[in-house]
Chain A
Amino acid sequence: MGARDPHHPLDFLTNPERFMAFSRWAAPMFGVLAAILAAIGLVLTFAAPEDYQQGDTVRMMFIHVPAASLSLFVYLCLGIASFLALVFRHALADAAAVACAPLGAGFTALALVTGSLWGKPMWGTWWVWDARLTSVLVLLLFYLGYLALRSALEDEQKAARAAAILALVGLINLPIVKFSVEWWNSLHQGSSTLLAKPGNGLPAVYAWPMLVMSLAYLSAFGSLWLVRIRALVWRRKARALALQAAES
C-alpha cells in the first residue's frame, strides 16, 4: 500500500484527527454565521410587505421553503455519505451519514408542519394526498426508517450497511419530490426560486429574505452536522477506550 499523501486537499475530511481540528473552528464559525443570517433574515421577513393575494401568510414562505430545500439537500448528503461508507468503509463517512439523519428528519418535519399551516388558509385544507406532499412524507419516512434501522440492529456494522442501502434506495425519491409539481397535477405551486419558469420568479422584496433565510438554514445545518460528527468521533473513541480497559 502506498504512503498516504499528507497534503491531500480533502485530508481534513477523511482523517479523523484533521477533521476534529478543522471542525473545532468551523462548527462555531458556521453557528455564528447562521445566527447573524437568521437575525438579518427575520428583519427582512417582517419588513417585507404583505402579498396582495396571500396577505401575511407570505411570511411563512421564508421559513417553509428553506426547510423544504434543506430536507432534500440533507438527504443528498446522507446518500453520498452512505455511498462512501458502504463502498470505501470509511468511518468518518459513516459518522457523517448518521449525523445527517436526525437533522434531515427535523427539517422535513418542519417543512411538512409549516406547509400545512400555510396550506390551511391558502388551500382550505391542512393536508391533501397530492404528489408533492406525499413524496415529502415519504422522504420523512426514509429518514425515520434510517434512524430506526440504525438503532434496531445490535451489530453496528450490519446496522450501518443495512441503513446505508436504505439511504441509497431513498435517493430515488429526491427527483420525485423536486419534479412532482411538474410531473403531476398538484395543489402545490411550482418553483419560484432557482428553477422558476420565466414570470414565476419572486420579486426582489421577497427574494432577499428568502435567500438570507436559506443561507441561515444552510449554515445552521453545517454547524450542527459538524457538531454531531464530532460527537460520534468521541463516542467511537470512548467505546474503543472502554473496550481496551475491559480487555486489560
Chain B
Amino acid sequence: MHFDFDAGKYAIYVWPAFALTAGAFVWMIADSLASARRWRREAERLQALRDAQSKGGRAKGGKS
C-alpha cells in the first residue's frame, strides 16, 4: 500500500482542514468527558452527604 502525504500546492488547504477536524473532535471529546465527570462527581458527593446525614439522623433517633 502506497501512502501519499504530499499534497503539493494544495497543502495549505488540505492540512488545515485535517487539523481543524482533529481540533474539533478533541474539543467535542474533552468537553463531553469533562462535563460527564464533573456532574457525576457532584451527584456522588451530594448523594454521600445525604447518606451521611440520614445515617446521622437515624443514629440520633435510635439513642433518644
Contact = CB atoms under 8 A, between A and B. Distances in A.
Interface of A: 43, 46-47, 49-50, 55-57, 59-60, 63-64, 67, 102-103, 106, 109-110, 113-114, 117-118, 120-121, 220, 224, 227-228, 230-232, 234-235, 237-238, 241-242, 244-245, 248
A235 B29 CA distance: 18
Nearest to B29: A224
Interface residues of B, number: 38
Interface of B: 1-11, 13-14, 16-18, 20-21, 24-25, 27-29, 31-33, 35-36, 38-40, 42-43, 46-47, 49-50, 53
20 contacts: A43-B3, A46-B3, A55-B10, A57-B13, A64-B17, A106-B27, A110-B20, A117-B13, A118-B13, A118-B17, A121-B13, A224-B28, A228-B36, A231-B38, A234-B42, A235-B42, A238-B39, A238-B42, A238-B46, A244-B50
Contacts of A109: 24
Nearest to B20: A113
Given A63-B17, A241-B47, A106 B39 contact: no
Contact of A56 (B3, B8, B33, B50): B8
A113 B21 CA distance: 9
A47 B1 contact: yes
Contacts of B46: 238, 241-242, 245
Given A56-B11, A60-B14, A231-B35, 18 more contacts: A46-B3, A50-B4, A55-B8, A56-B8, A64-B17, A113-B20, A114-B17, A117-B13, A117-B14, A118-B13, A220-B25, A228-B32, A230-B40, A234-B36, A234-B43, A235-B43, A238-B39, A241-B47
